[in-house]
Structures are given as C-alpha cells and as structure tokens.
Structure 1
Amino acid sequence: MNSRSLVQTAYQVLKERIVCGSLMPGTLLSENELAEELQMSRTPVRNAVTRLEAEGLVQSLKNRGILVKEISGKETMDMFETTMAMLAYALDMTQELGIRLNIERLEEFVQQQIAAEKTDDYLSYMKNSMSFFKAVISSINNRAMIEVMEGYADKLAMAAYINYLRTPYVKHYSANHLNRSILEALKAGDTEGARRIVKTFNMSTRSRIMNGMPF
C-alpha cells in the first residue's frame, strides 16, 4: 500500500470513529498508539490527523496528543442554518427556473429515514436526512453550495449524533416530519409551501439547538 493509500485509510478509520461516537469529544488520542493499532508508521497517521484538524474534528495539542473536539451549539446552529438557507434558496430556484426535482429519489430518502427511526438507527437517519437536503440543493447545479455542504455534512451529523447519545430522554428524529412535509408539498406542486415549511422549521429548530436540544 502506497503512502497516499495509508493516509486515506487512517483518515477514514479515524473519521468514522469520530462521527459515529466511538471516539467521543474530549477523548485524547496518541499518535504512536494509533500508528501501532493501524499497523503503519506515524507519518500517514499524522497526515490523516492534519486533514481531520482542517475539518475541525480534532485538535493537536503539543506534547499531549490529539483531542477529539467538541462541536459547540453555536457552530451546530450555524451549519444547520446554512443548510436550511441553501435548501430554501434551491427550492426557490427550482420554481424560478422550472427545474424538475427527482421526487422518486427524495421519497426513497424519506422512507429510509422513517425506517431508521423505527429501528432507532440514528446515524442512518442523519445520513438519509442530509442526502435529502443535498439532493434538493444539488438540483440547481450550484457547485459552490454543494462544496460548502459537503465540507461540513459529517461534522453536522456528528454533532447531531453526540447530542442524541447525550439526550436519550427527549424526542429525536424531527427531520423525518420536516422532509416528509417538504416531499408532500413538492408532490402537490406547492414549491412555495415547501419553502415556508423549511423557514418555519429553521426558526423552531434554532432555539432547540441553542438549548442543547436535538433536531
């Protein structure tokens, strides 16, 4: 395996553990121990950590190790509001430009979200919820928007999942109702109604995120 493949392997393994909560915020990692566990030298591990640090998932602490970062409520809110703003804009532009959304694909994501709630598979729920948003946003072919969303999608999923683990006493899976409502409006040809749903949900979710509640 070449050096680039080793870096990619280390990056994927560590990112998956962070996003799925196997490595919780506040966990301190050792570069030496990671290299030994992954059976590679420290160099590809260090390069993988640099990528994760650039994404805001970890922080290198001099002479102490690698810290899995906490995602603040403010940062979570900013990412979520950006997603909702892009979603509302995309819905507006599909109406203005006469772009036909792939309703069948959107329905698949919603059905998978609902199935995930029934089995309490929160990570699958978040993955399909984000895929629903991305499918709508991608429809207007704005590359910059797609790159912005791809840049923080995993971090937003991580923040939501950590919140889910920490708040088992409250109701989760609120995006199921959101996306199902958007889908029903779109199926009825009511794009403006879909935009209103997004804006209303954004306002109600803003206060929940700031109070440490789920979405």
Structure 2
Amino acid sequence: MFTGLVSDVGRIVAASAGDKLRRFRIASAYDPASIALGASIACSGPCLTAVGSGPREGGSWFDVDVAAETLARTNAAGWGEGTRLNLERSLKIGDELGGHIVTGHVDGVAEIAAREEVTGGGKGGPTARFVLRAPAELMRFIAEKGSITLDGTSLTVNAVEGDTFSVLLIPHTLAVTTWGDRRAGDRVNLEVDLMARYAARLVEAGQGR
C-alpha cells in the first residue's frame, strides 16, 4: 500500500528491451541499506519489486522487472534511459496517511489534453491546472472533489466534464515531482480511488438483484 505522496524522483540509468519483460535500473536518493531484495516501490504509479540494489554516489540504484501486463496497461513501454519517475516506498504501519490509500495497481493511462498556468509572480512559482482525458470505462469512478492517483501522485479532482477531468497542482508538487515537466500530449498512469471502485461495484450488485 502507498499514499500517493512522492518521496523521491528517480531516473532510469539502464533499460533492457523486450516485448514480454523489461528490466530497468533506477537511480534514486534512497539509502541503499534501506532497499531490501523484494521491496515494493511505486514507480510513477505501478508497484514494482526491487530485484537488485546497490550504492551509488548520492544515494542508490535498484533494478525492477516490468512484465507484459504492466507494459500493456501503463506508460512503462515508453520508459527508457533518462526517464524520470516519481518514487514512493511502501507504507509502514504507523506512517502518516497524508494522501489517500493507493494500491500501485494502475487501471489505465490518461492523456494530458491541456496545461494552464493559473497564477504567477509568487515566491513559490506558478500553479498549474491540467485537463486530462481518461478511458471511458474509468470515468465513472472519477468524481469532483474525489481522490485520484496520476503517475503515482495523490491528487484531488477539481472538475469533471464528459470524458475529461482536471486537477490543480501547487508549486511545491510541481517542483518535487515529474509534474513540472508534463505537457499536453503526455500520457500518465491512472489509478482510480479504491473507495470509488467498491462503491460502484456495490451499486451494480444492488441493481442486479
């Protein structure tokens, strides 16, 4: 389990090719002693397993294997050397739940339809509003003021209209995640709120009686 609060931005320093399985080596600022073999780390959304790790200048590196299902359901097929990823370590009992409950199981990919700089001139920099287009089958789980996870980041939905929804990112989030680099046309990993999924299933079950 995760919270959607990004704790580091990693960078892919090596990538293997393959249709069914790809291995990525990710450089991070994490303490190498804290990454155990088999540790779960959310990498811009999908929960991946560390299959190797070691020290490097400024932090550590760890390897993850991405299988065919994840390559098909996420934007990982487009990852390569130099790709920056939002990282989060798995939640521990007693940790503060500052975002919302995130599983690391990506439901699909949304496309950024527009980016608008909302404010400027402040010491922290501009705020940005992103309008995203999601797959039709996922839009029923997305509600105004509800939670959503995009590229591993816990965000609040500002508005929903047709097949699009919008989120607002403050300067801090833009600075400490990959969102500062995001532009119209980019594809991001989307995980719907777990509670919204179960609520929709309960409604469906009740209608089927």
Task: Name the larger-Rg structure.
Answer: 1
Structure with greater proportional strand content: 2
TM bucket, shorter chain: under 0.3
- Which protein has the bigger helix share? 1
**TM-score, normalising length: structure 1:** 0.26
